[in-house]
Chain A
Amino acid sequence: MDSTILAQVTGNIATIGYGLATLGPALGIGMLVAKTQESTARQPEVAGQLRINMFIGMALVEALGLIGLVAGLMFS
Chain B
Amino acid sequence: MGYDFRDPHQLGPTTRCLWRARAADDLGECALITAATDLLLAAGEGGGIHIPTMDEFFPPAIAFEGTIFEFNRVTFVRILATVVLCVVFWILANRARLVPGRAQSIAEMGLDFVRVNIAEEVLGKNHARPYVPLLTTMFFAIFALNITGVLPLLNISSNSVVAVPLLLAVASFVAFIVAGIRAHGVFGYVRTTLFPSGVPWPLYFILAPIEVLSTFILRPATLTIRLMSNMLAGHLLLVLFFAMTHYFFVEAGPAFAAVGVVTFGASIAFTVFEIFISALQAYIFTLLTAVYINLSQEAH
Q: Which A residues contact B (CB, under 8 angstroms)?
A: 4-8, 10, 48, 52, 55-56, 58-60, 62-63, 66, 69-70
Is the beta-carbon distance between B291 and A4 smaller than 8 angstroms? no
Is the beta-carbon distance between B284 and A10 smaller than 8 angstroms? no
B residues near A63, Cβ cutoff 8 Å: 218, 221-222
B residues near A55, Cβ cutoff 8 Å: 284, 287-288, 291
Give the segment of B9-17, B30-38, B70-78, B80-88 that binds chain A.
Answer: B30-38
Is the beta-carbon distance between A59 and B222 smaller than 8 angstroms? yes
Is the beta-carbon distance between A66 and B222 smaller than 8 angstroms? yes
Q: How far is the CB of B24 from chain A (nearest CB, A)?
A: 17
Query: Residue of A at shortest CB range from B232?
Result: A69
Q: Which B residues contact A (CB, under 8 angstroms)?
A: 30, 33-34, 36-37, 40-41, 44, 117, 121-122, 214, 218-219, 221-222, 225-226, 229, 284, 287-288, 291
> Which of A48, A59, A66, A70 lies in contact with B288, CB distance below 8 A?
A59
A residues near B221, Cβ cutoff 8 Å: 63, 66
Given contacts A7-B40, A55-B284, A56-B291, contact A48 B121 (CB under 8 A): yes
Given contacts A4-B34, A52-B121, A63-B222, contact A69 B288 (CB under 8 A): no
Q: How long is the Cα–Cα vector from A6 to B288 in the complex, in angstroms? A: 49
Q: How long is the Cα–Cα vector from A48 to B290 in the complex, in angstroms? A: 14
Is the beta-carbon distance between A52 and B291 smaller than 8 angstroms? yes
Given contacts A52-B287, A66-B229, contact A6 B222 (CB under 8 A): no
B residues near A66, Cβ cutoff 8 Å: 221-222, 225-226, 229
6 closest A-B pairs by CB: A66-B225, A63-B222, A48-B121, A69-B229, A55-B287, A4-B33
Q: How long is the Cα–Cα vector from A31 to B222 in the complex, in angstroms? A: 20
Q: How far is the CB of A9 from chain B (nearest CB, A)?
A: 10
Is the beta-carbon distance between A6 and B226 smaller than 8 angstroms? no
Given contacts A10-B44, A59-B288, contact A70 B225 (CB under 8 A): yes
A residues near B284, Cβ cutoff 8 Å: 55, 58
Q: How far is the CB of B144 from chain A (nearest CB, A)?
A: 22
Q: How long is the Cα–Cα vector from A31 to B119 in the complex, in angstroms? A: 27
Contact sample, A vs B, 8 pairs, CB 8 Å cutoff: A5-B37, A6-B36, A59-B219, A59-B288, A59-B291, A60-B214, A62-B222, A66-B226
Q: How far is the CB of A18 from chain B (nearest CB, A)?
A: 11
> Which of B30, B33, B225, B229 lies in contact with A6, CB distance below 8 A?
B33
Query: Residue of A at shortest CB range from B118?
Result: A52
A residues near B287, Cβ cutoff 8 Å: 52, 55
Q: How far is the CB of A67 from chain B (nearest CB, A)?
A: 8
